[in-house]
Amino acid sequence: MMAYERLRVGLAGLGTVGGGVCRLLEQNAQVLAMRSGKEIVITAVCARDRDKQRGFDLGDARWYDDPVALASADEVDVVVEVMGGSGDPAKALIEAALEHRKPVVTANKALLAVHGLSLARLEERYQTPICAEAAVAGGIPVLKALREGLAANRLDALHGILNGTCNYILTEMQETGRGFEDILREAQQLGYAEADPSFDVDGIDAAHKLALLSAMAFGTEVCFSEVYVEGIRKVSAVDIAYAAELGYRIKLLGIAKRHQDGRIEQRVHPCMVPKHAPIAKVDGVFNGVVVHGDFVDKIVMEGRGAGAGPTASAVVADLIDIARGNTSPLFGVRATLLSAFRGVPLAQRVGMYYVRLMVVDRPGVIADVSAILRDEQVSLEALLQRGRAPGEAVPVVFTTHETNEAAMQRALQSIAKLDAVLEPPQMLRIETLT
């Protein structure tokens, strides 16, 4: 390799992503130097266990037990934070790096979703960049697309599959007919789900990512607390089968929209989406993001959303940008120019709904349900009821025309109180995506 100036990296975190970064820098050293104009080398590391066998060579990198000390080390030009966690020590590390005028690369969506605004203000104060391509959608360069490629457009809506674990589970349920718990155990055995899967299956991971996408797309202050979050634990194989019969697939989506009055809608929940929609075809552990811009119309991005390789690819792409001197503010504009976040309550959603009831098969039940829907001005689009079992439990499925979320919730509460309704109604929102 010809002689290049060195970009010296302090790496905090040597888990799955940190290991992937080490392997990528070693394996692709020559092509990275050609593309960045610098030799990117790890000169300092920090992790919990010095003695753990990790299967990759750290060379002559100096070891630090204190992440903040790594940030101020003389042999470090740029800090890579892949420790995770929504607070310290990751937050303290990034703050220290910025104070020492050292660029930061992070994959930490939880930290940025919760503390992104304060960190963006520090970024602006110290004129030192934070790069975070790896924080959302792994190997898909979606943040770069929003911040740079689509910068000429007004963006008013985006939606996406932002968690590979949930998408794998729902895909397997769709293809095999097995239940949630069975597929979840399989995902844990394959390493797609953690021993405690709540962060993924309860929608929190996707909500962190959606908050970042929303802030970047719409130029607002990041506001994770205003994301409505609902996971996939209640999605059943029965609902997936009915969805298929009705022409839909069930996906956990993150949805963000800018309303005409400037308010922002942010929600993560299972959705029934038309089979022909691009997002319906994103299966397995893959992620997908669809963005609508006024001059480009619709942009669809798909790829692997997690794992050592895709995430390391995004981390190192940020390192290349730093080596080139090609960086932008964290959220695409200076922190002082971000508009204050004004949210839209879920109760104001207008859309279609799918509802499944378990009822006693007897005369008058459908009439009682229809009367409640009529009183809330909810109009039925389709009704499925098959077979007869007088006096026994039978499923009744219906979909609605567009209606208001608040009205739909009131109707479901009243329906649940009917003597003939044996279980809490199961409801899914239908998104007529294009």
Which residues participate in catalysis according to the annotation? 209
H-helix or E-strand spanning residue 247: none
In single-letter form, the type of residue at position 157 comes to A
Helix pair 109-126, 204-218: axis angle to 10 deg: 30
E strand residue ranges, 335-387: 350-360, 380-384
Instruction: List the structure tokens of 231.
Output: 């996971």
Cβ contact 289:308 at 8 Å:
no
Other CB atoms within 10 Å distance of the CB of residue 271: 26
Cross-strand partners of 301: 289
Cα–Cα distance for residue pair 194/374, rounded to 1 Å:
45
Instruction: List the structure tokens of 84.
Output: 């995770």
Identify the sign of the CA torsion 285, 279, 257, 123.
positive
Specify the pairing of strand 38-46 against strand 403-404. unpaired
Phi–psi pair at 397, nearest 5 degrees: -120, 135
Cα–Cα distance for residue pair 104/164, rounded to 1 Å:
26
Query: What is the Cα Rg of the chain in Å?
Result: 24
Cα–Cα distance for residue pair 163/9, rounded to 1 Å:
29
Identify the sign of the CA torsion 171, 175, 181, 184.
negative
CA 410 to chain centre: 30
**202-225 b/e with 16+ CB inside 10 Å = b?**
bbbbbbbbbbbbbbbbbbbebbbe
Phi–psi pair at 80, nearest 5 degrees: -110, 120
Instruction: List the structure tokens of 334.
Output: 């200076």
Taking CA atoms, 76 is separated from 43, 47, 106, 306, in Å, by 7, 16, 15, 27
13 by DSSP, 3-state: which? coil
- Residues ≥6 apart with Cβ < 8 Å to 259: 265, 344
315 by DSSP, 3-state: which? helix
Alpha helices in 233-291 (DSSP H): 237-245
